[in-house]
Structure 1
């Protein structure tokens, strides 16, 4: 790689830490001359990130994007993944078009199964195994139940871990309304190429039954097909929420959910089959069956504006199984051109519970946060195999594991210069022990991860229109069950995430943002399809720049632009000097929303440059499609909607949308149970939807 490509866009962790330390020393001297009485009488927030609003994001000391309710509703997005594309640094590989198995990556980190991203729902981890199985192979989230999306790319590692190298994606579900309200929504998605249709029905009722108790019920049912053959999908998602105020100081929040999905998976295609008909399937035995029962309980105690104790508790029982065809007669078992000799199923049963008390208090210029979390995960990790010729059925894998994880963290936000400068040093310590047992071979293995993870964020309101920030934090990803079991040279992963950025509000209608970022990864792990093992790539680097513009051109027209430049490099190992897989250099997004009377029209365009699909940076596509460069592509989504006021305060919104309007054909490489070949991304689809609020 050329020496010019190796220049750092952001300084090294040590240089940045030194610069921030100097800034802290200056801040401390300023603090000695300040009067604590200059602080505003605000209520402390136990959630360090704060409320998910665009206004709050403007003064967050890190790169952050908030997608609010109206943007989600009016985006015309095919699914939740599609709605995230406008955010800087995000890459989405849409495997199904139905949103049941998201592949989301940030800043060049592997997007497959969203395994490099800390995904939360209402602040709770949603991964099927928050420590032992961070890949989102079960995603109990549907788009209609989401109210706001909060994407925090930096500065959150101390308070939200582990697996937050790329950042934190927090999905906020619909809150209980003060007055009883109901929503009925119906959506029909029709794939242009195949004519397949997917129905999405949503209902919500909620409100406060008295001054103390609020209740809410949500139901979301999806049924139909994705855009390809062999893609029948059935989803059931039911959520019950309760909010109870015991008194002025004590609040309880409860949520119970049942999620169930059954789906056929069309899988990858050989290059020749893709060119013949990209909507077909060569994987007739591939399927997916999963369900989850999960619950959360939060107690919030706020005796004063300067003190908050929040005790969060969560648990889930999850059962998910992939079914997949295998050719065990020779060659690659997943070659889409080969006839399957066996059908395997891989049931995973997870029982997870965790508890996390967190205390936040303010003393003078200090806002102190202390927290601890304990998580226990018990997992049955099996594989069975059916031989098609004989009908014999046998177990081939019987793994059991238990993970115990304890985290301790603390931070101190110093409010200086009358609140215009905030400096937050923090530290997190993770201690993770995983005990693994293979019943068939009587093999046992233990992995211990004990890491101290420092962090520092600085935010400065330099003027009424200019906000500056810098942050540097260290993150941990423990070795995963699948990595332990397959052997190979793997170790716990750690990384430094650093940012330097600014936001300018030139006028009330025009705002700009710019962020330089760098991720220094140690011991990054990737799956090698050729050897069917996980391997340690060693040190890797991700760096680049994110630019954003938001302009309210008039009272009717909103415009936004976003651009991300990304440069990645493998710094050690056999592929030293190569780029990382699935890491396009350029990502450009443009959005426009126009309102006229009761009508709203929106248009979104997204461009991604080409990228490599393997660590070896294979240029020419292999015969079976398991490696080769991925093409660049441009997506355009459009929606036209109208609000219709009805009697009794009811409102009806009807909309028509077209996703991938130009029918761009693009693909990525195989994933998970179908790792060989091209996976077609969704072509053009039309969406008809109606929503009644009353």
Structure 2
């Protein structure tokens, strides 16, 4: 049976499936199936091939389904990801426009330590030179699922995969013509601010061979804090065309635009007075991007698939932020009166070509892939003097990056023994040319590395699966580091993991232990300078338990992550690594009775340090100090209208106890406390025709 030559029966199954048992990496060409096909079709995409039954993925993995993403208590992408073992999130804006995501203790700041993909394509503005996701072209309503792979994927996806891979999968084209409308209002309990979310999806098969879909997601309003006015436009067009039984073309075009005020960090005194206020009136973020990709797939048999993808984007993003220069206070101290307003426009042009091939021969499945990627970046900084209204150029840096990557792996099934071995090797070569347009300096940096890996899986029984992996990862020197006078180097790390899964009846249990052995880890300091911590180590335990007795109306689940980190070189040898909570806990439950569904979710974030020195007492400005622990509780009640098909109304309560947790400032406002979003209420109407 050919994957793309679907019978009407299979198409009906595709439409009924909502949990993501099988999906292709490209949102336009994706099809779904409730049941595991008897004949497995080889795929050139590793995430796709292992998703056919993710219970047998040789590494820590969690898939957030459509049901989870659409739950009324999930306010943002951050809320959803906070349920995954090992994932630490910091909600900077309350609107979801700038998520900060960390995995296994790695810093969540600008999601720099994890490979973030959207439909299998790197989301970072500069996938090699600027891995911080300071433009996040994803909105929650457009997602079908989120695939979080914490281990075992480094050979197939790189670079910057030390923390694993997170793949945001947008909604696929339905077979039958479908129109979906969703309206959501979120009201802050303290300030009364209203955030509106409008979503439209229309698509289906135009002919038996051609599918088309359009999505529009608009966000307007304010989050709970002052100075948080936000506008987001996200438009996506998907298409796929079955040329014949062996050849398929698929593609996507996206335009994403955001204009948002940023409330920034608060001084400790201002936080205690009113954590909803803002002391950063000049901070703002504006960006837009055009992105697209097209993929040709050739599948002459069930044992061979070749795909060739081309993708790219043209993006502009600018932060404006107040600066206090010439005084005794830090330039971003929330209590300081700004003397200047800086802006940091970045323009990115990225394009890439990526062929992949998968061949199954007996007990061996070979996967080969390569990629050529080019980045052009204009890295500028300007400064407005508020005393005389004069404007000056501070930086005019130009970067040109060329990257070549290739990998090969062999998944070897050892007969009927239950063992599967996958040795692999990835090669990365990155060359970055730098020129200072305001001066005469120029430089280049070359990163070249062979990155081996080995994953092992063992199916002991239908219920038990064991796995282990060891892989090496690379993060090239970043564009902001090339000009840094400090001891900055290409970062490498070894990742180790051992774990098991148990799936039987009403129970699903997973546990794994991991260790990340880092070389030359570079971290940003509160003054935005860069420091090489040298060798660091992250190790810990991740567990998850889900129980749904007799597949009945009640479902309970829990996750717990224990983390131990250590700086192994330098002035702070023996101290913990910053922004790495020792404990992360998530408890969730749901109860469905007739047309009603009630959900409750509680997330615990343990204590952590905010600087490499492990400062205990908080400084007056809030630049350092131990971060306290906190619980965040969210709940929702959904009602499916019995007289109308596919229409539901959901009431959500977010941060039910109005917990007042906080973390340290981020990026353009690095000094002070950033509060987590306070209590809010949401009302959602969802209708599918």
Q: State the match for 1:261 in structure 2.
A: 258
Q: State the match for 1:46 in structure 2.
A: 44
1:577 maps to 2:574: yes
RMSD: 1.1
Q: State the match for 2:636 in structure 1.
A: 639
Structure 1, 330-339 or 69-78: larger mean CA deviation: 69-78
Which sections of structure 1, spanning at least 5 residues, go unmatched?
A: 1-39
1:210 maps to 2:239: no
Q: State the match for 2:390 in structure 1.
A: 392
Structure 2 Cα separation of the partners of residues 270 and 487 of structure 1: 31
Alignment of 1:26-45 (within 5 A): 41-45=39-43
Structure 1 Cα separation of the partners of residues 239 and 508 of structure 2: 38
Contact 1:538–1:573 (CA<8 Å) still a contact in 2? yes
Q: State the match for 1:28 in structure 2.
A: none
Q: State the match for 2:436 in structure 1.
A: 438
Listed one character per residue, the Cα deviations across residues 349-372 of structure 1 (whole Å, up to 9, x for unaligned) are: 000001110010011111001110
Among 546, 552, 555, the alignment partner of 2:548 is 552
Q: State the match for 1:503 in structure 2.
A: 501
Structure 2 Cα separation of the partners of residues 273 and 323 of structure 1: 22
Structure 2 Cα separation of the partners of residues 327 and 411 of structure 1: 53
1:288 maps to 2:257: no
Contact 2:154–2:161 (CA<8 Å) still a contact in 1? yes
Among 377, 380, 401, the alignment partner of 1:379 is 377
Contact 2:595–2:642 (CA<8 Å) still a contact in 1? no
Contact 1:75–1:83 (CA<8 Å) still a contact in 2? no
Among 120, 124, 131, the alignment partner of 1:123 is 120
Structure 1 Cα separation of the partners of residues 418 and 235 of structure 2: 44
Contact 2:559–2:585 (CA<8 Å) still a contact in 1? yes
How big is the shift at 1:535?
1.2
Structure 1 Cα separation of the partners of residues 485 and 241 of structure 2: 49
Q: State the match for 2:367 in structure 1.
A: 369
Contact 2:94–2:224 (CA<8 Å) still a contact in 1? yes
Structure 2 Cα separation of the partners of residues 179 and 173 of structure 1: 18
1:56 counterpart SS class: helix
Listed one character per residue, the Cα deviations across residues 35-91 of structure 1 (whole Å, up to 9, x for unaligned) are: xxxxx85211111123686x7221100000001111111251110111111100010
1:138 maps to 2:135: yes
How big is the shift at 1:463?
1.2
1:274 counterpart SS class: helix
Listed one character per residue, the Cα deviations across residues 528-585 of structure 1 (whole Å, up to 9, x for unaligned) are: 224x421110000000111111111241011111111000000111110000111011
How big is the shift at 1:680?
1.2
Q: State the match for 1:463 in structure 2.
A: 461
1:475 counterpart SS class: strand
Q: State the match for 2:537 in structure 1.
A: 541
1:113 maps to 2:104: no
Structure 1, 191-200 or 157-166: larger mean CA deviation: 191-200
How big is the shift at 1:487?
2.7
Structure 1 Cα separation of the partners of residues 105 and 94 of structure 2: 22
Q: TM-score, length-normalised on structure 2? A: 0.93
Among 169, 174, 178, the alignment partner of 2:175 is 178
1:199 maps to 2:214: no
How big is the shift at 1:634?
0.4
Structure 2 Cα separation of the partners of residues 449 and 689 of structure 1: 48
Which sections of structure 2, spanning at least 5 residues, go unmatched?
A: 1-37
Q: State the match for 2:4 in structure 1.
A: none
Q: State the match for 1:7 in structure 2.
A: none
Q: State the match for 2:217 in structure 1.
A: 220
Listed one character per residue, the Cα deviations across residues 414-441 of structure 1 (whole Å, up to 9, x for unaligned) are: 0113272210000000000001111112
Contact 1:646–1:652 (CA<8 Å) still a contact in 2? no
1:141 counterpart SS class: coil
Structure 2 Cα separation of the partners of residues 41 and 296 of structure 1: 29
Contact 2:42–2:304 (CA<8 Å) still a contact in 1? yes
Among 589, 592, 601, the alignment partner of 2:589 is 592
How big is the shift at 1:645?
4.2
Listed one character per residue, the Cα deviations across residues 325-383 of structure 1 (whole Å, up to 9, x for unaligned) are: 01112231111101000101100000000111001001111100111001100000001
Structure 2 Cα separation of the partners of residues 496 and 299 of structure 1: 34
Structure 1, 326-335 or 657-666: larger mean CA deviation: 326-335
1:58 counterpart SS class: helix
Alignment of 1:60-459 (within 5 A): 60-74=57-71, 76-330=73-327, 331-418=329-416, 420-459=418-457
Contact 1:50–1:56 (CA<8 Å) still a contact in 2? no
Q: State the match for 2:673 in structure 1.
A: 678
Structure 2 Cα separation of the partners of residues 52 and 604 of structure 1: 29
How big is the shift at 1:142?
0.3
Contact 2:50–2:56 (CA<8 Å) still a contact in 1? no
Structure 2 Cα separation of the partners of residues 255 and 165 of structure 1: 28
Runs of 4+, deviation exceeding 3 Å: none
Listed one character per residue, the Cα deviations across residues 239-266 of structure 1 (whole Å, up to 9, x for unaligned) are: 0000110000011111000000001101
Contact 1:221–1:237 (CA<8 Å) still a contact in 2? yes
Structure 1, 544-553 or 67-76: larger mean CA deviation: 67-76
1:656 maps to 2:654: no
Contact 1:183–1:692 (CA<8 Å) still a contact in 2? yes
Structure 2 Cα separation of the partners of residues 150 and 613 of structure 1: 29
Alignment of 1:604-623 (within 5 A): 604-623=601-620
1:58 maps to 2:51: no
Contact 1:366–1:414 (CA<8 Å) still a contact in 2? yes
